[in-house]
Structure 1
Amino acid sequence: MNKTELNAVNTLCKLHTDLSDEDIQKINEVVQNLELIADLNQANVFIDCQTREKKYAIVVAEAGPATAKSVYKYPVVGKFAYETFEPAVFYVFRTGKPIFLNHALTQEGKKVEQSVVPILGSNNRIIGTLIMEKDNSDKLQDQNKLQALTAVNETLSELLLGITENNPYIPEVIEESLFIIDAEQKIQYSNPAAKNLVLELCAQECKISTSFIDYFPNLEDICLLPDELVIQEVTIKNKVFQMKKISLVQNEKNNGSFIIFRDLTELREKERELTVKTVAIREIHHRVKNNLQTVASLLRLQMRRGLPEESKVHFVESLNRILSIASVYEIILSNSSIDDVEIFSLIEKIGNMLVFNEDHDSKNIIIEYSGPKLLIKSNIAVSVALVINELIQNCVKHAFTGLDEGKIIVMIHENAPMIRVLVQDNGLGYSKETTPSFGLEIVKMMIEQDLSGKFNIFGTSDGTIATVEFPLEREV
């Protein structure tokens, strides 16, 4: 694995999981051997890690074999895995027990032989799963397995073809539309949901018929496919369905098909609405960022045209406040999220702007950052940006008066559900007798009113320490 792929593992783990740095290092150790494992087993291998909520898993690394044809056409790193489609993976997460030679379907509909083993961190805690998926089509050519498969298929065919006689109530209560058609595409059975589907989609245009193709002419090519299992998404009269076709074989002869329709229309509509909403929100963020940068440009233009000396400092402070808010939207637009901001990157961007992009009367000021990469909502991030701007700006402006150099340290701590940010300098020290500046008044007001948090500032023998504590979620 190259450095870019390892960086992707780190990024995905930190954004979506609760794994510690030690756990991620363990994952990376396994990742470095993925290509070797894939080549040795002539199989595709993956590493899945559970998300913070434990409801899903995310693929953080993959490798395809150079010694065999890959099972996958497209990369899956960064995609989420759901228990409905990956039951073996979630079984291993829950029990810690490995599963070998499990028959499964890939996300692209290919049949594979899947093995899953847990990846253990400290204290034998499961931090991920190593998954191997191997194309088992060659094995299916083996005569013994083919005969066994035929026997199973025949049993299924007998069950399905006789289902209306023996257990009619089973398919009657299933919400999916079920059809059993023979080799001539004639409908031998349809459950109530299937009959309603025919009435809803075809009644006005189709004559009553026993032919499946008469009702669904655009599906004839799918019905004629020889594959034992076909899964496709189809559109019928502006509705979207997942269609599954299972060939029914008896005595090595195709006796027809078992067809299942699952209505995905509402799901796809919600996905479309979500996509439109996402695009609209990102466009709003983009316009807000552009508007803030336009205001900042106007302030810079006014400063270049000349200002009274006593007004210049106020223009600079206002400019920094505007740019700090703009930083929130720049970070949102730079990642895949539509409303989350990574607080470490936000603070780092604001701090670097104030320390490295300003003239400090030949003072040598440095700034350091530490802490986890946490995501906060944009409405909280705007208030946090203004608070951090004021605290760092206060250090730059007042802490090092008469000194040649100075150091500012910003530390982020998480103590769920609270976040604590500490800003410390090694300057002259804060005195409570000093009249609070306008900037500190802004900090106090925003922390208490906007963030429902606490603010404290005090001087020490080594400088000044300011602390800000607020909840991850804004109180309503």
Structure 2
Amino acid sequence: MTNNKIEELCTLHTNLSEVDIEIIKSLAANLFLIADLNKANVFVDCLTKEGKHAIVVAEASPTTAKSIYSKPIVGKFAYDVFEPSVLSSLKTGKPIFLNRALTQEGRTVNQSVVPIKNNRDKVIGTLIMEKDISEQLKTQEKMEALSEATETLSEILVGITQNRPIIPEMLEESLFLIDDRGRIVYCNPSASNLIQETYADGHWVDRMLIEFFPEINSILEDPEDLLIKELTILNRFFQVKKIRLSMKESEYGFFVILKNITELREKERELIVKSVAIREIHHRVKNNLQTVASLLRLQMRRGLPEESKIHFEESLNRITSIAAVYEIILSNSTVDDVDLYQLIEKIGNELVKESGVDKNISLSYSGPNIQIKSNKAVTVALVVNELVQNCVKHAFKTIESGEIEVQLQQMDSQIIVQVIDNGEGYSPPSKSSLGLDIVRTLIEHDLSGQFKIHKAENGTVASVVFPI
């Protein structure tokens, strides 16, 4: 991987500075040593400009072990839904070790991720190590199934020889013992009931299993001694396990377990449908809010009395702040969580852009990425809108330039949002302020939190504290 390629990808797809890119390039020079030492594939991923996913800017395959990738993946994107550890480490700055993930080529791997930071302690990328565990998982699954089958078979044989009730009689799974010709030797009550649900006579003794369930013929004919597959049988979903049985070095037959997972698959389908429906609702809400905002802008362009204009602007800002919540929801992989830092940044930038104030006001943000539910996010959006708007309009009346900083913190089970300016300083209004009344009401009733605003040594500090 050449330094030119790394620089090209970082410049095109990320917001990294030249100094940060040099740090990435310096680390990438040692990737092959790291890969050989750990017998694993290693990568460097960086967050894209949009902040929604990451991009692979450097990689190294080990010469001391087989690579888990058949093709280079530099330049490919890593999405949150497949590699949540990467995105989480990029956003929180926390390392994650031995997390299970799905690679670009669909392999299951153990993935460890550590953040890469610059000299200002800011996360600029992640160093990722991946080891293939696909075969390990298959072996583990086979051993679990074989252990289960062996224990159950032992219980069956002991129960039959001692002529007493046996544990398989009480199991919900359908258990079949068939000989090497495929004829049923034994089945528990659950298996017998499954046959009787479809066939009136229900007689299974010395009959072929595939007479009742032809769908499992391919599993029985498969040469694998142990096989686990999911099949649709009788319009239902079943997990089917087959174990080949040998007694005294001769083939005896198979042990077959059918587990009905129809309810599980139906719930999964319902969740997918529900998720799509919720996302569509959010999309329509966002569009409706944007339509209302457009109508307000149209009315403002056609002319308004000067005393009404400020009220239209405030209403417009409140609407666009709520719309920002739904924009972020739709850009995420989850349908009910909002990144609070991303939301505050979006609202603040829009406010300064749309304020129309002829002053040099800069806005900065600090704090971790915190996920909150969408219903709380709407309230926080309105609160931040009012506080930043208040700073823009009132903090710099006699000052030509100023700074507003929005700080986000998480302490134990509380979230703290502070809006700090270096303006003229807060003075309690002579009459009630609608904006601050809105802030207090929203914080106390919707967030069960507290609000404080006071004059600082240089400017004003407004603090919001509410439980997660």
For normalisation by structure 2, the TM-score amounts to 0.71
1:459 alignment counterpart: 455
- Write out per-residue CA displacement over residues 406-458 of structure 1, whole angstroms, 9 at most, x where no aligned residue: 10011111123221111110001111254342111110111111111111111
2:428 alignment counterpart: 432
Distance 1:33 1:471, change over 3 A: farther
Q: Percent identity?
A: 51
2:314 alignment counterpart: 317
- Write out per-residue CA displacement over residues 258-307 of structure 1, whole angstroms, 9 at most, x where no aligned residue: 11111101111111111111111111111100000000011111111122
How far apart are 1:335 and its partner, in Å? 0.4
1:188 alignment counterpart: 185
How far apart are 1:117 and its partner, in Å? 11
> Are residues 1:203 and 2:199 paired?
yes
Tell whether the 8 Å contact from 1:182 to 1:188 is kept in structure 2 after alignment.
yes
The 5 A counterparts of 1:16-35 are none
Distance 1:156 1:208, change over 3 A: closer
Distance 1:312 1:330, change over 3 A: same
> Are residues 1:421 and 2:413 paired?
no
Number of aligned positions between the proteins: 389
1:370 alignment counterpart: 366
Tell whether the 8 Å contact from 1:229 to 1:244 is kept in structure 2 after alignment.
yes
Distance 1:244 1:216, change over 3 A: same
Distance 1:394 1:157, change over 3 A: closer
Secondary structure, in 3 states, of the residue corresponding to 1:292?
helix
Task: For structure 1, list consecutive stretches of 5 or more residues without a partner in the other structure.
Answer: 8-29, 47-61, 82-92, 99-105, 120-127, 140-151
Distance 1:165 1:274, change over 3 A: same
The 5 A counterparts of 1:56-455 are 68=66, 70=68, 133=133, 135=135, 159=154, 162-166=157-161, 169-200=166-197, 202-204=198-200, 210-250=207-247, 253-361=250-358, 363-455=359-451
Distance 1:134 1:452, change over 3 A: closer
- Write out per-residue CA displacement over residues 206-243 of structure 1, whole angstroms, 9 at most, x where no aligned residue: 77562101110122111111111111111111211100
How far apart are 1:132 and its partner, in Å? 5.5
Distance 1:342 1:3, change over 3 A: farther
Tell whether the 8 Å contact from 2:184 to 2:208 is kept in structure 1 after alignment.
yes
- Distance, in Å, in 2 between the alignment partners of 1:196 and 1:44 is 51
RMSD across aligned positions (CA): 4.5
How far apart are 1:194 and its partner, in Å? 1.1
Amino acid at match of 2:211: D
Task: For structure 2, list consecutive stretches of 5 or more residues without a partner in the other structure.
Answer: 11-26, 44-58, 72-77, 85-95, 115-127, 140-146
Amino acid at match of 1:437: S
Distance 1:263 1:420, change over 3 A: same
Amino acid at match of 2:353: F
- Write out per-residue CA displacement over residues 50-89 of structure 1, whole angstroms, 9 at most, x where no aligned residue: xxxxxxxxxxxx998786474999x9985699xxxxxxxx
The 5 A counterparts of 1:32-47 are none
